[in-house]
Amino acid sequence: MDSQKEALQRIISTLANKNDEIQNFIDTLNHTLKGVQENSSNILSELDEEFDSLYSILDDVKESMVSSIKQEQTRKSQELQSQLSQCNNALENSEELLEFATRSLDIKEPEEFSKAARQIKDRVTMASAFRLSLKPKVSDNMTHLMVDFSQERQILQTLKFLPVPKAPEIDPVECLVADNSVTVAWRMPEEDNKIDHFVMEYRKTNFDGLPRVKDERCWETIDNIKGSEYTLSGLKFDSKYMNFRVRACNKAVAGEYSDPVTLETRALNFSLDNSSSHLNLKVEDSCVEWDPTGGKGQESKVKGKENKGSGTPSPKRTSVGSRPPAVRGSRDRFTGESYTVLGDTAIESGQHYWEVKAQKDCKSYSVGVAYKTLGKFDQLGKTNTSWCIHVNSWLQSTFAAKHNNKAKALDAPVPEKIGVFCDFDGGQLSFYDAHSKQLLYSFKTKFTQPVLPGFMVWCGGLSLSTGMQVPSAVRTLQRSENGMTGSASSLNNVTQ
């Protein structure tokens, strides 16, 4: 019966996953169909605009050519009209002179005849008819304004859609996820020397497999990539996966996106647990600050209520504005001089890394891990359920590793930022200079319970960085380090 139930549960789980996969594919198809309709409408509008632009250019060219022809017609007509007018005037004068000369032949008186002959000679000499060019200044030829658009028609007949680059292919084997950076590599299915650049899009997701249309995050874009790979660095891995896709662009148009790939970007993400910290600590998701007045006002109120016979003190704390009062159910989780706050996520397996930076004026603080059973009066490192590195600059400076109320002084400068590496399965807790990755100290133990990141601060504050992969330098050091067992035998090899 039990085995059948287990088998049925597996079938149910398989069916649910398949249904989810199919639903995601249906969403993708609907989204693609909507995109086809919208993009087709946009392309048609752009096509109309392009042809309207061509029509407008042709109309402008035609208008210019018609104007040239009319100007030439007007010029030639004016030239010919001018010649014609001159010829008509010359002909009229010549005919008048001819008539006068003919009449002069009938003059009988010698003296009058001589006078008329001299006049005719002078008028012939000055007559415009003999100075007039009888060749047209312009011809009626207009062939210099003829056109032949056969080549242009051929060009227009070759109009076609732009050549679109093919979709690149992302090679998951060549992609690398390391040190909170992601390198994505791709190649073209065939050589294309007209490609100008690539565009890469990415987004974070908590879903494995194909990207979901209804994913909660939008695509982000990296444009103008000249090579065939790109590295995103300085990322916070606050999601389980990241989707990537790439497309090629020539000078005119962008091609299809590549098939998307999903790369795993798991890392430990946690916040400070503001519901159970010490009253004198102001706590936000990733920072904690000591507040000397945090508990005094509340304690007096509680005492007043207790004197009135109230059985349960109010859980509200008006002194810490960053904490929601309603969730402050364990307001006495840490008290006394245990100015402690824990992370809200337990570590039960695997290797994890986070970093902590102290304010410059911070007098005393501790960074490490602890079991959930850490007592409310307990300070980090002073019990057998907590391990930490402690920095103190009050009165005298100390820098030490602490566990089970034993301390090991560290012969190293206090770094600006401390990196914490926890290998739960390997039973190792190591501290590093976050910048140089120099090993500060390692605890070797056997964790028998889940551990929580722990922080203690007095007169100052701490800021926290999570969503970080274990750095490559730390992994390399871990492979070659044995946890400093020889120099720290008093603190290491403790099983709790």
pLDDT digits (tens, 9 = 90+) for 221-251: 999 999 999 999 999 999 999 999 999 999 8
CATH of domain 169-264: 2.60.40.10
Confidence (pLDDT) at 492: 53
Per-residue pLDDT, 96: 87
pLDDT for position 211: 72
Q: What confidence tier does 370 reach under pLDDT thresholds 50, 70, 90?
A: very high
d(CA 348, CA 371): 11
C-alpha 68, offset from chain centre: 54
* Cα distance between residue 363 and residue 289, in whole Å: 12
273-294+331-482 shares the fold of 169-264: no
Domain ranges for the chain, please list them.
Answer: 17-157, 169-264, 273-294+331-482
Instruction: For 92-103, write each residue's pLDDT tens digit.
Output: 888 888 888 888
pLDDT above 80 for 434: yes
Most confident of 47-56, 158-167, 476-485: 47-56
- Entry pTM: 0.65
Q: Model confidence at 295, in pLDDT bands (50, 70, 90)?
A: low
The predicted-structure confidence for 306-329, as pLDDT tens digits, reads as follows 333 333 333 333 333 333 443 444
Q: Could you tell me the pLDDT band of residue 300, with boundaries at 50, 70 and 90? A: very low
How far, in Å, CA of 455 to CA of 284, rounded? 13
Mean pLDDT of 92-115: 87
Strand 364-371 versus strand 386-392 pairing type: antiparallel
Whether the CB-CB separation of 386 and 494 falls below 8 Å is answered with no
Q: Indicate if the pLDDT at residue 302 is higher than 80.
A: no
First to last CA, the chain: 40
Which range (118-127, 136-145, 164-173, 236-245) has the least confidence?
A: 118-127
- Look at 162-166, 280-284, 299-303 and tell me which has the smallest mean pLDDT: 299-303
* DSSP conformational letter for 343: B
State the pLDDT at residue 29. 87
Q: Please give the average per-residue pLDDT across 430-442, as a whole number.
A: 95
472: β partners: none
Sign of torsion over alpha carbons 346, 285, 207, 263: negative
- The contacts of residue 412 (CB under 8 Å, 6+ apart) are 399, 433, 438, 440
Residue type, 459: C
Comparing CA positions, the residue from 409, 380, 378 lying closest to residue 396 is 409
Say if strands 261-264 and 241-249 run parallel, antiparallel, or are unpaired: antiparallel
Cross-strand pairs, 398: 392
The CATH number that domain 273-294+331-482 falls under is 2.60.120.920
Average pLDDT of the chain is: 85
pLDDT of residue 188: 95
Per-residue model confidence as pLDDT tens digits over 5-36: 888 888 998 898 889 888 888 888 888 899 88
The contacts found for 406-409 with CB under 8 angstroms, 24 or more apart, are 406/490, 406/491, 407/381, 408/441, 408/488, 408/490, 408/491
Question: Mean of the pLDDT values across residues 265-288?
Answer: 91
For position 481, what pLDDT does the model report? 67
**How far is it between the farthest Cα atoms of the chain?**
168
> Is residue 381 exposed (0-12), middle (13-18) or buried (19+ Cβ within 10 Å)?
buried
Res. 157: pLDDT tops 80: yes
- Among candidate residues 318, 275, 328, 276, the one with its CA nearest the CA of residue 298: 318
Q: Please compute the mean of the pLDDT values over residues 194-203 and round it to a whole number.
A: 94
pLDDT above 50 (res 37): yes
Q: Are 439 and 428 within 8 A, CB to CB?
A: no
pLDDT of residue 23: 87
